[in-house]
Structures are given as C-alpha cells and as structure tokens.
Structure 1
C-alpha cells in the first residue's frame, strides 16, 4: 500500500484530503505542522508528501527543503497564493508540483497519481520518451535506431530531467545532483549543457523538449503522441 503524508494546520482541509485519499485506497499519515511532518517521515515509510505552505513552527518551504535533503519522494505544495514569486520560491525549494487553494480533491488525486508514475519511472534503468530511449547502463541514447554516446555530464543531466517529466529543477539543484555539492563553478555550467542537449536533439522535439522555467531552471516535457 502507498503511504501519503498530508500536512496542513487546517484540520478541515487535512481531514477532507485524508478521507478522500483513503477512499481511493491510499494509507494516509496526517500532520498539523512542519515539525510533526518531519517526525512522521522519520518514523514511517512515505511515498509522497502533500504539504501546505503557511504553517506554524516550520512552513511548507522548509519542510520541502528538508525532504529534498533526506528523502527521495515527490512533494506537492498547497497554497492560498497564486503569485509567480510564490511559485518560484516553491520550485526553488524543490517541490514537484504546486496546487492553489481552493482545489478539487479529484485534481489533487490526478496530480498524485502522475507524480507516483514519474517517480516509478525514475527508478528504472531505461527511460523512454516516445521514439527516444535513454539507457543508464550503457550510457546510450537510442533515437529511432540512431545511437548517441554523450559526454558523461550531458548524459547524466538528460537522464535526470527525463526521469522526472514536467518536474522543475532549479539550476542550483541540478549542479548539486550532477556535479556535486563541492563543484566550484557557477550555474552557467547548467545553461551551457542544456544548450548543447537542445542542439544535439533538435530533430527530436516531437519526442521531448527541455523547457526553460523563467527565474527558476529547467524541466523536460514529453508531448503526447
């Protein structure tokens, strides 16, 4: 059974979400603030976290950053704010998705299921993007029978983005994931590698696209065919 953590200081919203998710077959842990959420994560296996931003003691941004540091699970931030700077801050904190209140529980369910599929894909050795297959074992990119052998960092960057379609990664996050926390360069390195990937795979825009998210970083999109 999939365990989901629902964190919100509004017990009515928390209870509504928890009841709906339980009716869909999920096991739900509830937390009323950020500190309680982290305590739940420390004690229990959780596959996804739904976290409200405005909470006492430790807000949703802080919880999201802590999850990114210690756990490899998807996060959906809930907020009453729909301004671009708030979303930018959420994505910079490492959230996978962002849902504005008021929302329909059914929409939250759609987003949860989509994220769980993405994270399942991320654990695979191969990622398929329509006609393009990226093989982590051989470090090959097969584009309809044409094989590309990429420089190591280009491959790792492409595989990271492709493993989590539609998730926004900040430049700082990509630097840490691909080059390591002790990397002494700047985030222009990410821009240069993204430019090379776009040029290299320009003929495959119908299979996948690397999009710039202004003020934050990048995400990979897979057009439906």
Structure 2
C-alpha cells in the first residue's frame, strides 16, 4: 500500500484499531493506548522492539511508549547518535525505511554501527502528525534485514495513524501504564537530559542545540548513552571540556 492511498489506509487503520482494542481488552485500561499500539506492532511484525516518541526540530525527543525494555534500549541508541530513520521520518514527514541497516553506514555512520552491534538488521520509522505538523515518530526495530511485506507495511501505516489520533486526543500526557489512574509525563521523558543540556549551555556559553550536540559527541566518544552522560553532568562527576569540538 502506498502511504498516499487514502482508502486502503483507512482500512488498515480500522485493522490496527481492532488489534489494539483486543490487546487492551486483556487488561485495564480498555481504551486504546500508545503502549498497546507498540506491543501489537512488535508482535505482528516479529520486531525486536517498537517505540513511539515525540520530537522537535531542535533534536529534542521524549519517549511516549515502547513495546518493552528492548525497544526502549534501541530507541536510546538512536537518541544518543542524534541520527537515524526516526529523525529522517520526522524531518521529511514521510516514512523512512531502512531494510538493510548495514547499507546505511554512510547515511547514519554513528547510529548504523551501534544499532548493528545491538543486533538490529532493519529499521522502519513512520511519522506521527497531520500534514506538515509533525508530532513524533513510531519506529520499528527488526533483527533480520529485509523489506516489510505489503501487508506488514500497511499495518504499520495504520498503527501510525492510530498513534497520531491517540496523541492528538491527549496532548498533555499519554496513559501508557495500565495501572496508572491519571495520565502522567511521557515514559522516559529524559528531563534530566535537558537539565544537563541547560547546564552545559551555561557552562560553555553556547546554544541548547550545540549543548546537546556536545553531549552526544562525548557519549559517542566514551561509548556511553546521552542519558548516562547527563546523569554524570548533573551529579558533578563530569564537566565537558570547552576545547572539545
């Protein structure tokens, strides 16, 4: 199915809603959640993990829901690299499909290597939003290399449309934990990353965008995640060298 085939896309949206509603019927809440969307898509596509996240043009990202711990860890790799299919999908408002991640070393040098080391063979990212209004991305990480079948691609597009609806219906907070009584901050909101980002901005007299870029560079050079670097900065165990590029 083409991303622009409106009729077929409505059909697959209905199929996605059916699967997600059935998933939620197994426990509370009964209404569809982003977490259920991620779990269903991971199961139906035999994926290692699925992540739904919000993004901004400044490189900020907040994880809203994942299919599980593996998906969260794989999403962290991309956030640390600051590059990859999710960023391309958000910037272009089009699906970014990487059926053979090993062939993308020149396109995403930092991310492709780290993801391959984690056992990822292919990544498929689908933008969340309406038209040019980007809200985030739904990203699928798979172990084997190879393209999605037409049926799996169609279901992923349907799930992305459903995820967009859920995000628009509750922009202040997504109910991702079935035991939670009220919507809370996004899962893995990374508030400590942005706290550290502000500290680096003040320390180095630079912009927020450059501060995050420097944190990512340090994380890559020391084989850490951006989250780990942020925790060290906040804890006073790390001060970035202003002479580093």
Whether TM exceeds 0.5 here: the answer is no
More strand by share: 1
Return the TM-score normalized by structure 1.
0.31
Return the TM-score normalized by structure 2.
0.29
